[in-house]
Chain A
């Protein structure tokens, strides 16, 4: 059964451990800015908010990719980026409403969360359980997706 990243914004302390763990796991460098997950910090408002690929079922990046390098991976419940197909045009970077696709300028490639193939590194280091990787029944998953869609709808309306 696929699992998904469940983010509880209320619990985030803004410590950036998730970013660091991600950068180490995916890039082998201890540089938080190179993680696929980003802890947004609005110091003034005291808001911390981990942003990561929402693994949208009907994703703008998938719809916009000119070579079908991005597609829905049913098994792991994720939007998968196939580097063998990607031509590096960066359109996914621009079109994602969540800013969840990044560019590695050095390696000249785009990157996004791939859920670490089912064992996400960010989850292991989050002491506050703001980022969790939860097993969900299909019904439950649909509910979560609905919530995610509501969030994206709100962003659409109020961003």
Chain B
């Protein structure tokens, strides 16, 4: 059995290591256009800020693959797929497969903004991108898009001495992770540490004669020598589409719960696929490390005929905001459609700020800023489709281990407010 995996990121890698764990005989080949071993994009802002060395971004060395008995073709492009004859066409030959895994990942979203193709405009996906930013030695940066990458890069560059302008189109930062109130608090926290935050603002033009000198938004002109684009990530699904695989409405590879694509013996996992949200059941691009890792493991099992199903994706993200921990699980209140009855429980304790969100009685979201130890209980409750009322009723159970959470959920502390 020959299993070919396209992509060396965490999804492809966890598929490969899972297959190897289950079967010592299968031949496994990872093909990747990158010429570097497995790395964690999540660690890049830490490298950028100087908190960790470059070597800590990499989770494997090239020698680890041969030790695991995994063949690698790095720096190799896949030019086409022939799913009829089960052949992968490379820029340097062909590979025949019994099972194929597409784990091509995602790429930064590009928008046709005037002046964007010049020196000093950056994105962050690999260690080389981080090297390019660090090699720049600029003084001021405009970060476009205040999603998690934009916020983390803003903090990292502020820490190494940049003047930072953080520009967000939506009315508040981190709009898909936090509701307005906690987001305003986080924005104020960023501002207190020297990041200039502008929300509800659209980038119009990047200025410069070949290298960046400033930007213009719909509200102001700003001088800067760097522009960092964090507009979001989109699935890298071109190869799959060209091979005739069905893509979903969000432009990710369409897969069933077994992570199988529309073609027989072809699986897909990681950022390139679209899955279902565990809570809403709607199509979603998860684009998260834990999802990619889990999907890779499931694909690994299914390649060998062990039937495993993916339960769906759930949003979970933690941010270090100048040592303040901000965590979001599940849905935001603002992100829930009108037909549901939304209930918000908010509590400000001396350990931090906590917001629980219920839709039609079920716990569907949690936002925490400050001490986050123990909040994993609520993520488990979301996965188990637990009603908020039930959680309150059972507070006397000795299993509700942390006093803090009993306090948050006790009826007298509950403040129900509009989202």
Chain A residues within 8 Å of B, Cβ to Cβ = 9, 40, 42, 45, 47, 49, 51, 60, 63-64, 66-68, 85, 87-91, 93-99, 101-103, 108, 151-159
Chain A contacts of B397 at CB under 8 A?
154, 158-159
Please give, as numbers and ranges, the residues of chain B lying within 8 Å of A153 by CB-CB distance. 384
**Complex interface bits, B213-227 against A, C-beta within 8 A gives 1, otherwise 0:** 000000000000000
B373/A103 in contact, CB under 8 A: yes
Known interface pairs A87-B46, A87-B51, A87-B56; A102-B398 also in contact (CB < 8 Å): no
For B320, the chain A residues whose CB sits under 8 A away are 88-90
User: Do the beta carbons of A89 and B376 come within 8 Å of each other?
Assistant: no
Instruction: Judge if B318 is at the interface, Cβ distance under 8 Å.
Output: yes
If A66-B42, A85-B56, A87-B56 touch, whether A159 touches B372 (CB-CB below 8 Å) is no
Task: Determine which of A64, A67, A155 lies in contact with B377 in the assembled complex, contact meaning CB atoms within 8 Å.
Answer: A155
| A6 CA to B52 CA, complexed, in Å | 37
**Given A89-B320, A97-B376; A67-B294 close (CB under 8 Å):** no
Which B residues touch A89, using CB under 8 A?
42, 46, 318, 320
Q: How would you classify the secondary structure of chain B's contact residues: helix, strand, loop or mixed? A: mixed
Ranked 3 nearest A-B pairs via Cβ = A99-B374, A66-B42, A158-B394
B342 within 8 A of A: no
Give the distance to chain B from A77, nearest Cβ to Cβ, in Å: 18
B405 interface residue, CB < 8 Å from A? yes
Q: B325 at interface (Cβ–Cβ under 8 A)?
A: yes
B368 on the A face (CB < 8 A): yes
Interfacial residues of chain B within 308-362, with CB under 8 A of chain A in the complex: 316, 318, 320, 323, 325, 327
Given contacts A90-B320, A93-B373, A98-B374, 5 further A-B pairs with CB under 8 A are: A51-B401, A87-B46, A90-B318, A94-B318, A94-B376
Task: Tell me whether B380 is interfacial, beta carbon within 8 Å.
Answer: yes
Q: How far is the CB of B407 from chain A (nearest CB, A)?
A: 12
Helix, strand, loop or mixed for chain A's interface? mixed
Say whether B396 contacts A45, CB under 8 Å.
yes
For B387-410 the 0/1 string (1 means CB < 8 A from A) is: 000110010111111110100000
State A87–B290 Cα separation when bound (angstroms).
16
Q: Are A67's CB and B400's CB within 8 A?
A: no
Q: How far is the CB of B397 from chain A (nearest CB, A)?
A: 5
The answer to the question of B90 belonging to the interface, with a C-beta cut-off of 8 Å to chain A, is no
Closest to B398 in A: A47
Given A42-B403, A89-B318, A99-B373, A68 and B59 touching (CB < 8 A)?
yes
Q: Is residue B86 contacting chain A, with contact meaning CB distance below 8 A?
A: no
Q: Please tell me if the beta carbons of B290 and A63 are within 8 angstroms of each other in the complex.
A: yes
Would B40 and A159 count as touching, CB distance under 8 A?
A: no
With both chains docked as a complex, state the minimum distance between the C-beta of A12 and any C-beta of chain B, in angstroms. 11
Contact of A66 among B40, B323, B325 (CB under 8 A): B40
Q: Which residues of A contact B396 (CB under 8 A)?
A: 45
Q: Is the CB of A90 within 8 A of B372?
A: yes
In the docked arrangement, what's the CA distance between A22 and B390, Å? Answer: 35
- Chain A nearest CB from B204 CB (Å) reads 35
Min CB gap B354→A, angstroms: 12
A159 x B56 contact (CB < 8 A): no
Q: Are B403 and A159 in contact (CB under 8 A)?
A: no
Q: How far is B134's CA from A132's CA once the two chains are assembled, in angstroms?
A: 52
B42, B43, B56, B399: which contacts A154 (Cβ < 8 A)?
Answer: B399
